[in-house]
Amino acid sequence: MTMKIIPIQVAYQRKFKRQAKIKQLLYHAGGHCAHIGKLSPGCYGCFVPDDFERNIVAGVKCNLNCPYCYLKIPREPGKNEQLALMRDILRNSRLSGYNPTRMSFSGGGEPLLYLGQLNALMKLFKDIEKKTGKKPWYYLYTNGVLASESTLKKLKQMGFDEIRFHLGASNFSGSVYSNLQKAVKYFKAVSVETPAWPPHRKKLFAMLPRINDIGVKHLNLGEVEVTPYNYNKISKLLPGAEIYQCFAMHLYDGGLAYDLIEEAINKKYAYSVLDCNCFTKSIQRSPAKRAHHEEVADLCAVY
């Protein structure tokens, strides 16, 4: 049984009706950003124009295999491509007005498999900082499996401000929770960014008090993007699931993200929560972001 495409009118009305039930929700960026609490500084660039931010692909290999991964594994970037990236960054850094808000490291693989490349790139960015006097917010995504104490120390020494853990990738393993707890000692902000994947419902609810006790600052709940590369896998796991288009095609989570937000509100957990759903991704990726949304000024925490 394949998944069912529902009209955007149905999907949107469901989302807006669910949002309306949570009076504590805050809205920024023309309503695309629905959240509680102040978000990570790394999220700011999703909603405003920034000619200088970059999402760096250190490499494309991954040590896990998420059933909802939406990417086709691309080829490994060659040395010439990395050098071209560096030249581009150096060229832009000499432009007047250079003031990047963030530099993120994710790409199609697990960044912690590429510590050498991360170190080389961060050295480059530090040189640019010295030339320009401008420092962006540096953060990376990881599934957390390789986030050992020694690796976390190295990342801090490189200059990273934030690390984000994708807990769902390891099926919320105890060892990754342990690594998450270690990370709190080393970074200005430790975040969890994991999708509101319906098969993880119980583990997502169990996650909420654990990350609060650990000291996580921000929780971003993604919405699974459906592509030709994960469609068959998801269809087998969730036959008859509903999907809808909003810029890209997304899996409707049945309100799971908002169930989790309500739980965080009711239990008074200290971290922020972002519904990083199709609307966030739409404005993040589309030319509409070029129209600056003035109401984002108070969106993010200050560290």
Indicate the burial class of 33 (C-beta count within 10 angstroms; 0-12, 13-18, 19 or more). Answer: buried
Report, as an integer, the average pLDDT of 242-264: 96
- pLDDT for the residue 167: 98
Lowest mean pLDDT among 18-32, 61-75, 139-153, 253-267: 61-75
Percent of the chain at pLDDT exceeding 90: 68
Ranked by mean pLDDT, the top range of 42-46, 53-57, 73-77, 178-182 is 178-182
Higher pLDDT, 77 or 179: 179
Higher pLDDT, 144 or 88: 144
pLDDT band at 266 (very low <50, low <70, confident <90, very high): very high
Report, as an integer, the average pLDDT of 121-138: 88
pLDDT band at 90 (very low <50, low <70, confident <90, very high): low
Average pLDDT for the chain? 91
Domains of the chain in sequence order: 4-296 (3.20.20)
pLDDT band at 73 (very low <50, low <70, confident <90, very high): low
Report, as an integer, the average pLDDT of 247-271: 97
Whole-prediction pTM? 0.94
- pLDDT for the residue 236: 95
Report, as an integer, the average pLDDT of 283-298: 77
Residue 289 has pLDDT above 80, yes or no: no
